[in-house]
């Protein structure tokens, strides 16, 4: 088992479509991972990291109903298993296969749950999952801002996308648990905050600060605020859909992964329009807000900053984020991990993947030539310095992660058997 605190990175696998679905913004392709995946896994190990946010390309793997191409996933995941690296499997990252269409498709939840079940059966040794990455951001960018996928701009389209994303995520968790009863789910949702720039902006800021919780409220079976309930009902969610989500509480299998970037805080004008405010509260303050609401273990699942002209901007941001993580931990919030996202530089995130320009964004621990960046050097030293210290601060606060090499051990089989019986008993109790 992994002792103590989780230090992680990720390999960026965003794949939304733009230009009315004609262009696929495949970050695994743009960043060279299809060609250099063995080297990328070498780099993860060189960093001293054993946990990797990673997933197969959904659009290349899920080819139709009950039709899958596992060739790339077989190569990469079997290699991860041999290396004894623990993946947090990212099954859907901002895009769906062309044949599914987009997040307005009401069949998406059932289709995606079937895919999740098929993946879990093929790779039963995998324990950690982020079924759908950043559900709120995906719905917002696709159906409210009109940037990706369906490229719509309405509250009704947003609510439709959001309810389909959350339903798919919940159904996928159930499907995975049917195969791997001790699976753990790390949500990885963007942690946002909206600041009113004047007294007339207080009301729209309050509404935005309520809306930011919708995806996690629905995912965790928490009743939404009254105004958000009216918002959902007014924009196409049916009462039976809402009630069904309230009944699917899987919090006992969940870690609240939250992402924080310098773009996560916003300034709100009186007319409701927003602009980026930069860091005002910071990760620690906003994470307390989310933890107070959901009372779950927390993991910082994404952050980065461009290296910048001085060359130390990303390093300073890493140190600031780490200081915030320690602050959260010292304040008594059960925070279990930290992630610099991603392993390598990314491409075209300077336009939020809206434009296919091929612009390299210096956000990685390594550049696209697989040369380590200053932030990579500092993160490696940070891991070395803190890896042995943090577990001694809280022996009780350890995530029960089973290493791939331990999957066939008798004690692991017994644990899965006990988890299966426990899940079965909870289902029976719910039905009675």
Task: Output the pLDDT for position 261.
Answer: 98
pTM of this prediction?
0.96
- In the predicted model, is pLDDT for residue 254 greater than 80? yes
Span 344-393, pLDDT tens digits: 999 999 999 999 999 999 999 999 999 999 999 999 999 999 988 876 55
Q: Span 256-282, mean pLDDT? A: 97
In the chain, what are the domains?
6-431 (3.20.20.80)
pLDDT at 3 over 80: no
pLDDT at 1: 65
395 pLDDT exceeds 60? no
> Residue 387 has what pLDDT?
87
Confidence of residue 224 (pLDDT cuts 50, 70, 90): very high
Lowest mean pLDDT among 89-103, 130-144, 166-180, 396-410: 396-410
Residue 427: pLDDT band by 50, 70, 90 thresholds? confident
Higher pLDDT, 399 or 392: 399
CA of 194: how far to CAs of 4, 138, 199, in Å? 34, 18, 13
Residues 130 and 401: their CA atoms lie apart, in Å, by 15
How much is the average pLDDT of 67-79? 98
pLDDT on residue 432? 56
């Amino acid at each position: 088992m992994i002792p103590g605190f989780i230090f992680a990175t990720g390999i960026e696998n965003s794949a939304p479509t733009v230009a009315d679905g004609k262009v696929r913004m495949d970050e695994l392709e743009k960043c060279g991972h299809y060609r250099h995946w063995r080297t990328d896994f070498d780099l993860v190990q060189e960093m001293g990291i054993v946990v990797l946010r990673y997933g197969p390309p959904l659009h290349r793997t899920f080819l139709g109903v009950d039709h899958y191409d596992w060739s790339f996933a077989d190569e990469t995941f079997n290699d991860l298993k041999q290396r004894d690296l623990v993946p947090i499997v990212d099954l859907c990252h901002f895009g769906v296969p062309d044949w599914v269409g987009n997040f307005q498709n009401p069949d998406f939840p059932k289709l995606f749950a079937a895919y999740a079940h098929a993946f879990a059966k093929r790779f039963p040794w995998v324990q950690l999952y982020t079924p759908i990455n950043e559900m709120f951001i995906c719905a917002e960018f696709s159906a409210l801002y009109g940037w990706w996928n369906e490229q719509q701009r309405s509250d009704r389209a947003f609510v439709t996308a959001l309810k389909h994303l959350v339903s798919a995520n919940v159904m996928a968790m159930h499907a995975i648990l049917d195969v791997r009863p001790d699976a753990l789910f790390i949500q990885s949702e963007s942690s946002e905050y909206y600041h009113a720039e004047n007294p007339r902006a207080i009301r729209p800021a309050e509404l935005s600060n309520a809306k930011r919780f919708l995806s996690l409220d629905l995912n965790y079976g928490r009743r939404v605020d009254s105004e958000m309930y009216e918002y959902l009902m007014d924009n196409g969610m049916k009462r039976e859909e809402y009630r069904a989500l309230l009944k699917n509480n899987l919090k006992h299998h969940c870690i609240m992964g939250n992402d924080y970037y310098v773009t996560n805080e916003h300034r709100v004008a009186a007319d409701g329009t927003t602009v980026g405010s930069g860091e005002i509260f910071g990760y620690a303050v906003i994470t307390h807000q989310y933890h107070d609401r959901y009372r779950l273990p927390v993991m910082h699942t994404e952050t980065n900053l461009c290296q910048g002209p001085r060359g130390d901007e990303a390093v300073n941001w890493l140190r600031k984020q780490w200081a915030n993580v320690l602050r959260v931990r010292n304040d008594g919030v059960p925070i279990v991990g930290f992630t610099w996202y991603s392993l390598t530089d990314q491409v075209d995130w300077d336009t939020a993947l809206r434009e296919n320009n091929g612009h390299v964004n210096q956000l990685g621990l390594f550049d696209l030539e697989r040369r380590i960046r200053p932030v990579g050097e500092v993160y490696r030293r940070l891991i070395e310095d803190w890896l042995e210290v943090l577990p001694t601060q809280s022996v009780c606060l350890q995530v029960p992660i089973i290493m791939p090499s331990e999957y066939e051990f008798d004690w692991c089989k017994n644990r899965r058997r006990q988890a299966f019986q426990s899940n079965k008993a909870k289902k029976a109790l719910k039905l009675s």
